[in-house]
Amino acid sequence: MSPHATGRHHVRRAVATGVPLAVIAALVAAGPEASAASRDAHVTGTATLGDIPLGPFSNALLPSTVDNDRGVDLGGIGSDIYPTGHKNEFWTVTDRGPNGQIKVSGTKRRTFPVPGFDPAIVKIRVSGDTVKVLDAIPITTASGKAVTGLSNQEGRDEAPYSYDAKTPLPYNPNGLDTEGIVRAADGTFWLVDEYGPSLVHVSARGKVLTRYVPKGLGLTGADYPVVEALPAVLLHRKINRGFEGLAQLPGGDLVIAMQSPLSLPDEDAGEGSLTTRLLRFSPRKKAVTAEYAYRFDPVNVVDPSEDDTSELKISSVVAVGGDRLLVEERTDKAARLQVVELDRRSNILGGRYDDATTSPSLEQLTDPAVSGVPVLRKRLIVDLGKVKGVPGKIEGIARVDGDTLALINDNDFGMTDGAEAFDAQGRLVDSGIETSVTYVRLPHRI
């Protein structure tokens, strides 16, 4: 049967079972291509991070910051991965630290079992089947104190609680939920954060130099410079779904990915939307210079086991030459990598969809292209969900060479949600999921 005939077969079967037309269109566009893009991709190696107690690790960086690690090991370094320039060595970054959710009186509370934990940049080396920590850099304020990973603003961010969700913890305007990482030519680092959402410039030794946030955020009390330089529309980011991906283009410009569609005009619109946004930021101009609409594939195309559109996320973006970008669309169980070209004609910065009062919003448009919105064109490179040996929850991707990628998963510090995450003595009941780096060779160069 020819590829076209196979596609018609899938369409006939989809129509017979009542699949929506949008999904049928995706099957036509991605069916044979998805199979071909994954057929010859294969894992060439996997390495695992051993157990490193979180308390001693943290206190070696900033003394006396963690008094009780509750049996948690170092994890979460899979928030992103970036090549150091040396073979098998990478920069990684943790997120805000061990955290979970426990339902109390019908409401979920965000827990921080190790509230003194400070997000860190961690340099690793893959040696055989082992991931070794070579260096670790704490992220600190202007005065050298821990930024912590605690929520910033009451009423905007999730209220922080102790490990058992019984005791409220203080908010911290310095707190960062760090995600993407790149290293600039001058040795400084750029990170992205989910709270603001924000773009964070830090020194070679981790001191926050500037935190760029959306206009109108009104973050006060931080012990480092905060500059309102990002579009105000980003204030409508979904909770815990701010900036997630960060790439550095050859000329030095940065590309930032919103993890999920904005909640415009409300949460329901964001939960059901397939359109998120990418931003281009010029470190030289210290300003956003472009904004792009990025369209997810239907959720059950990305992950056949999932039917909840809100589970779609962008977790990693990687520069692959010129203005081309590798974009990871994922759920917690599956991921697909697409290549897009950042065409100047697709720039929507400053237009009507940056106005939060525009109705319908960009997020509400069923087909943005029909409404005149230039959506980035994309091409599927590989369906990681069909590559044997790739773990779940891949959050970081690095390009090793023309046809090889390094993937890193977020193991959430071994935590799970719910009161059963800790035993009667308040010690972690570890999930058993380890941090791993997985090499995948693609059938073609990208």
Total-model pTM: 0.91
The pLDDT, as a whole number, for residue 390 is 97
CB 150 within 8 A of CB 171: yes
CA 356, CA 67: separation in Å to the nearest integer? 44
Residue extent(s) of CATH 2.120.10 domains in the chain: 40-441
CA 316, CA 306: separation in Å to the nearest integer? 20
Q: Is the pLDDT reported for residue 287 higher than 70?
A: yes
Cβ neighbours around 38 below 10 Å, total: 21
Which of 21-35, 122-136, 179-193, 214-228 has the weakest average pLDDT?
21-35
Q: Is the pLDDT reported for residue 24 higher than 90?
A: no
Name the DSSP class of 422: B
The pLDDT, as a whole number, for residue 31 is 52
Q: Could you read off the pLDDT of 308-338 as tens digits, one per residue?
A: 999 999 999 999 999 999 999 999 999 999 9
pLDDT band at 34 (very low <50, low <70, confident <90, very high): low
The pLDDT, as a whole number, for residue 35 is 54
Q: Could you read off the pLDDT of 96-132 as tens digits, one per residue?
A: 999 999 999 999 999 999 999 999 999 999 999 999 9
Tokens representing 107? Answer: 């409401």
Would you say domain 40-441 falls under CATH 2.60.40? Answer: no
CA 371, CA 359: separation in Å to the nearest integer? 12
Q: Is the pLDDT reported for residue 18 higher than 80?
A: no
Pairing of strands 208-214, 226-230: parallel
The pLDDT, as a whole number, for residue 194 is 97
Burial of 248 by CB count in 10 Å (0-12 exposed, 13-18 middle, 19+ buried)? buried
The pLDDT, as a whole number, for residue 32 is 52
Nearest to 192 by CA among 206, 204, 177, 205: 177
CB 302 within 8 A of CB 327: no
Q: What is the mean pLDDT of residues 37-63?
A: 93
∠ CA 154-160-162, rounded to 5°: 155
Name the DSSP class of 356: T
- Residue 140 CB-half CA count within 13 A: 17
The pLDDT, as a whole number, for residue 19 is 42
Which residue pairs from 50-59 have beta carbons closer than 8 angstroms and sit at least 24 positions apart in sequence? 50/130, 50/131, 52/133, 54/98, 54/114, 54/117, 54/413, 55/114, 57/136, 58/114, 58/116, 58/117, 58/118, 58/120
Q: What is the mean pLDDT of residues 198-227?
A: 98
CB 55 within 8 A of CB 65: no
Q: Could you read off the pLDDT of 136-195 as tens digits, one per residue?
A: 999 999 999 999 999 999 999 999 999 999 999 999 999 999 999 999 999 999 999 999
CA 18, CA 296: separation in Å to the nearest integer? 21
The pLDDT, as a whole number, for residue 395 is 97
Phi, psi of 146 (to 5 degrees): -60, 135
Host H or E run for residue 49: strand 42-49
